[in-house]
Amino acid sequence: MKGKTKISIDYARCGESGRVDPRTCGICLRVCGPAVFLLHQPLGAVEENPYKPRQWRVTAVHLSLCTRCMKCVELCPEKAVTVTW
């Protein structure tokens, strides 16, 4: 695949301060064949109970494996995913 893929998530729509908790949605995580996305706690998050974290977000980590199928963009109910190259 030519060039490098860039994928961003709008955390105002999905993530620790967004409308959606990615643990309950998770559509992008599962629609993506090569499993490009990672569900994780934001770095430096302050948790009331660190053993039971409540803040989660999604980051596209395995960018070079993205096939640019655009399923994640299409199916994200929050329109939070952008894929460009």
Partner 1 sequence: MCELCMKHGAGGKWYLNARHYSNEIVEKYNLRDFLMEQYTNFEQMQVRPVMGFNGVGLGYRVRIPIIGRIIKGFAERMLTSTNPPTNPFRAEGHIGQVVPLEDAVAILEHCAAEPIIEKNCMCRFMSRGIEEACCINFGVMSEIIDKLPRFIPEKEKYHLTRREAVERITAHNKKGYIGTIWFGPFPYINNLCSCASPECAGIRPRVDYGIKSIFKAEYVIEAHADKCTGCRACISLCQFGALSWSWTLKRVIVDQEKCYGCGVCRHACKHGALSLIPRDSFPGFDGEY
Q: Residues binding partner 1: what is the number (CB under 8 A)?
A: 25
Minimum Å gap between C-beta 20 and partner 1 is 12
User: C-alpha distances in angstroms, 10 versus 2, 16, 31, 57?
Assistant: 25, 11, 18, 10
Question: What is the number of residues in the chain?
Answer: 85
Q: Which does 77 bind (CB under 5 to 8 A by kind): partner 1, ligand SF4, none?
A: ligand SF4
Residue 17's Cβ-side half-sphere holds a number of Cα atoms within 13 Å equal to 6
Three-state DSSP at 65 gives helix
Q: Which does 4 bind (CB under 5 to 8 A by kind): partner 1, ligand SF4, none?
A: partner 1
- Residues contributing to the site for partner 1 (CB under 8 A): 4, 22-23, 26, 29-30, 34-35, 37-41, 43, 50-53, 59-65
